[in-house]
Structure 1
Amino acid sequence: MKAGLTERLHAPRERRSHSVRQGINAIASRHASALPGIVMLLIVVGCNAFLQPDFFSADSLASNLQNAAPVILVCMAQAVIVLLGELDLSVGAGISLVNCVLAAVPSLTGWSTGATCVAALAVALAAGVCNGVLVGYFRQSALIATFATGAIWFGGALLLMPQPGGAVPEVLGEWFAMRVGVLPLAAVPIIAAGALWPALQRHRFGRRLIATGSSADAVFKSGVDTRVVKLLGYVLAWLFVFGAALCISAQTSSGDARLGLPYTLNSVAAVVIGGISLAGGRGSMLGAICGALVLVLIGNVVYFAGIPSNYQEVFKGAVILLALGCTFISARKPV
């Protein structure tokens, strides 16, 4: 009898311990693909700390975070699309279009800052809906469809701003430069986006998004309309694109139709560095964030090491190839 009582007393503790172990294993499994990106980030941070003695000072951290904010957000946007099993080659042109809307609309219409931002958000979401409809409902190749829409977004940006210029509402620049303690306000959209993704993963839509990236046919046969999932995935991604354009516009305080073009390839590179499978359905948002930070901090290493800036792209290419190698090796490991 005493032995039975002892077992009952210890059973809840054992169940709790088992649940904790299961939770830890689930988290580790979810973020295992991000390990190469995390390792690369630690290496790059170490190089920065060695070359830049005040790297961990409040001013330096705030400056680096401000520079990284748009890159992180656009990489998170691309990560959503890649996890869905697709790709978006129009995000860079979309950033340019939103930037030109923010810079041109106030002078053309006299609208307030709030109305201008709402108009820019509407443009971004409309672009996401357009891409989602083409890929999801019309079943067009994501590469071809988003390459074409990217040309349209770029053309729209050129119509609004044939030459760099205009003026983004000053309040955006003031907001971007403000700080809350050590953190700049530029961290707010990153934190919001980072908090949104785990919430979505626990929601039915997040699970369906990942499952569609893994096997769209299986998800469709289970009764889920994958067209809607893809459409909503693109809309969600373009919400992040809008955040990236807002940060860039606040930094530059002007419009430029070519400003966002380099971000397309950078977003794909960050996804690869972060260990997200280009086949879809495998990876984590943590990996995309790490990949974005690696790309940003590589520029610091090149600068503080006194290496000519022309070699920056060489370093980026080498890091991407290394990440691809790590992804290939991890994919070949037996489950």
Structure 2
Amino acid sequence: MSLSKHSAQLAETNTEFLLSIHASQKNRAKTIPGYWWDINRQCWVYPKTASNYHKLINEFGNDLFGDLTIACPDKPVQDKLQFPSLSLFTFETVNVNERGRVIKRCQSQAQFFEEKLNDEVVLEMVLIPGGKFLMGSPESEDKRIDIERQHWVTVNSFWMSKYPITVTQWEAFFGYPKGSLNIKWNCYGDHCGDYPMRWVSWFQAVSFYKQLSQKTNRPYRLPTEAEWEYACRAGTRTPFHFGEAITTNLATYDGRSRYRHSELGIYHTEPSCVGRKPANAFGLHDMHGNVWEWCADYFDAKLNKDFPVEIVDFDEEVYSIRPIRGGSWYSSSRFCRSAYRDFAPPDDGDDKIGFRVVC
């Protein structure tokens, strides 16, 4: 939630907590225009509190509380939430050479739980263990862009949906997509329910996870950009989690476009059913191609600082461009890279954008 939604709480908040807000938000403030104004505005509503706040800031400086991040839990998220019974699943991962040919296959396991959406539909949530990773791409990576500058980011453990949200999972909350939330919809084939849900704006994705949170009493949300890339890479530093190349045997994208020495493939005219392509080392499918995926953040083209990822509730009512990641069935290979960053207006839903959830 935005600070503006907590005015009543701030009225009763002591100076120490306001200082912790200041410290925890200082990295974001450097890259989001007007961010300090949003924070300070809440303090000035209460002159006494604001006076103490600015007095101590002036006396001790911005680093009074170091890099304290009040919105980022210290312990793994699974220690703080109540979950259904946890299970292990086994899956195969592949590694490819620069032509996209498989050179190694491995069997892996990951922990997951099933979220029951109704009597017949479940949502599989996979554990993403926390860690530190190098976000972005090296200057030597083919087809990279300037806004992929590398920087270290620390991510705490979280759970992520195994696949993009499907038509069937959407129906569990909103009914048949054609009549829900003014979403345009075209579906082909006999397995429509297994297709990733498309034509979903950022605001509509927010509506989904809010209802899911209310139903389950768990804090579902969209992933941040850093969480998304961390989950996609699954410990790799190559352009794709498969390795140095991508083919249409590995992901659903426009196979007429080569990535370096990779082989040409299928020209897709629609997405694929989820889970048909190999998983990454975390057990996630369809992180490259199929549909772009919304992220929670405000899009920041200069995101290149080394700091822990902050799990904040971005104001869901603010009209600001939002990140999309992963590429789609319509995308060239270069746009499906782990580091590639793009964005869209939050009310822009088209047949190439979907989403997945985390908690």
Question: TM-score w.r.t. structure 2 length?
Answer: 0.26
Higher relative contact order (CA 8 A, sep 6+): 1
What TM-score results when the alignment is normalised by the length of structure 1?
0.28
- Structure richer in strand, relative to its length: 2
